[in-house]
Structure 1
């Protein structure tokens, strides 16, 4: 018996879907990719219709891959006509940034997908309960852990990385990666770094298209020139690896989050994480072992003051060990089981 056929959407959104598609194919699932329903909308719709004619019946959606209601309504209507069965991985309780004009409209769009999908997937039991409280119990929800990137990322020499990035060897480097949304706790991160004594440096890296966030980052840099190193541009995979290697710890004080690929990535690079107890973070960050959960700026400052590079290194090793226990093949197997039930 041939394996199930699945349309995976969107076509590319970073390492999550790349890893999932690779492992599904390795397990005999036939995967075709459907682009995000935005500017590529006519092509995306053609891809769905053509794929359905080729025998693909399952559409596996990730995130909210639509930009407005007419796209969402058109695809759901066509999908029902074609007999498409939908699996939806709910990575967030709502889009990170407003997609449909307002938070209320975003929630209405989420509700449409809850009504269309036949099976839902979340990454933790806590998120399953949060989804049910917010959107009801109509959609059956499976918990499938987010795979890690251990063994897939290149670990770079820290001394060489610091030299290349201009980070002094005697500084305890605190990284924030991807300061592109307020919900990542940009304000808290900047305030924490500004309160730390000499011997610490904040490293802010990654693209920042939001001008208000960028202005605040630059304002802190001007006020505390010796406390911040900025590299706010789009980074290559190799440059991301360098920033992890050059840093001692990742600080991501989320205001709101469901799942964070960045936190999982940091552990896969053998770097501990300080974050807040939101969403799935408890699955990955174990206090004093792989990092710390903090509830306030004062907590974060106190935790960082108590650390030295050797303790951070040990926690990073613990984080990498945890990441290695959560490989992609097992997550893909659970998805494949769902596809087979719906095929």
Structure 2
């Protein structure tokens, strides 16, 4: 691009999506500065916003809803209007994963405020675009930009060594649930499905579980079916996550509701097939019988998994990794850069 495009990315630290996007934007010549979450860092984030505007940044790219209180959202929208900022909003979720502003009604009001505030919106699939327009109206122009994958960041791990390290029996077909931190991931359905699988299958539940009710439910099932579950409910490092993918045969994440799932994309990047429900963007990543399975009941999950072989799982995993390799951060960043440039010109 002939002129240097500048963008403020917010929030400044929310995991691999913004880490990968900011790195690729910079690689393409975009000047990026980071604005912290408008919560506990509220005074500092506001100062960063004003400082960045004074230094020539005119586009703010918001991800999720990075606010702890409704008044913070209102204050920030008014300040941005006063500063003459243009706002891009990536709508990763059509509703928050959990109640964010005190009630579902206030959460919906916050979403509507965001839709009214932003100049351009981004979703990750045509289905999400249609759902957003149906729920919130068509006043906000929406672009579809695929979520990038993690293929380039995945270090291959030997499955046999991973199973040895984690104590997973080599002769079991392993059904993984990673990151059991929210009910909407289908934790109850996962536990019931694994408990009904025949001999030769084991459920591996790994990752931080801060919700006491979810933790109790998982532990109760493990105590009831000690031969069916292995648990590691702590925060995992990147290397440990890679070990768990390597030790597994398939990821089971039967979402009750979802828009986008980084875990599903991560599993495919690790060459592991995915079984999930046909919610949100899942159809974009999980191709029936090719990269995994889309199911709509526990009976379907039990029946399909009971007939799954390791060779079939490996074949679908390879297909999933190939699909993921085509969804690059370079492409995503290029599309975002076009939006930023359009807004700078309009401003």
**How does the TM-score come out when normalised to structure 2?**
0.98
- Distance in 2 (CA, whole Å) between partners of 1:215 and 1:155 is 33
- Distance in 2 (CA, whole Å) between partners of 1:63 and 1:313 is 34
Q: CA deviation at 1:2?
A: 2.9
- Distance in 1 (CA, whole Å) between partners of 2:265 and 2:214 is 24
Q: Which runs of 5+ in 1 are unaligned?
A: none
- Aligned residue for 1:39? 40
- Aligned residue for 1:87? 88
Per-residue CA distance 1:124-157 (angstroms, 9 max, x = gap): 0000000001000110000011111112111211
Q: CA deviation at 1:258?
A: 0.2
Q: Secondary structure at the match of 2:153?
A: coil
Matched, 1:236 2:237: yes
- Aligned residue for 1:62? 63
- Distance in 2 (CA, whole Å) between partners of 1:39 and 1:172 is 44
Matched, 1:50 2:51: yes
- Distance in 2 (CA, whole Å) between partners of 1:341 and 1:238 is 40
Q: Secondary structure at the match of 2:289?
A: coil
User: How many residue pairs were aligned?
Assistant: 343
- Distance in 2 (CA, whole Å) between partners of 1:55 and 1:281 is 39
Matched ranges for 1:19-168 at <5 A: 19-168=20-169
- Aligned residue for 2:11? 10
Q: Which runs of 5+ in 2 are unaligned?
A: none
RMSD over aligned Cα atoms: 0.6
Matched, 1:189 2:190: yes
- Distance in 1 (CA, whole Å) between partners of 2:288 and 2:115 is 34
**How does the TM-score come out when normalised to structure 1?**
0.99
- Distance in 2 (CA, whole Å) between partners of 1:155 and 1:266 is 12
Runs of 4+ aligned structure 1 residues displaced above 2 Å come to none
Per-residue CA distance 1:218-264 (angstroms, 9 max, x = gap): 00001001100000100000000000000000000000000000000
- Distance in 1 (CA, whole Å) between partners of 2:155 and 2:41 is 33
- Aligned residue for 1:322? 323
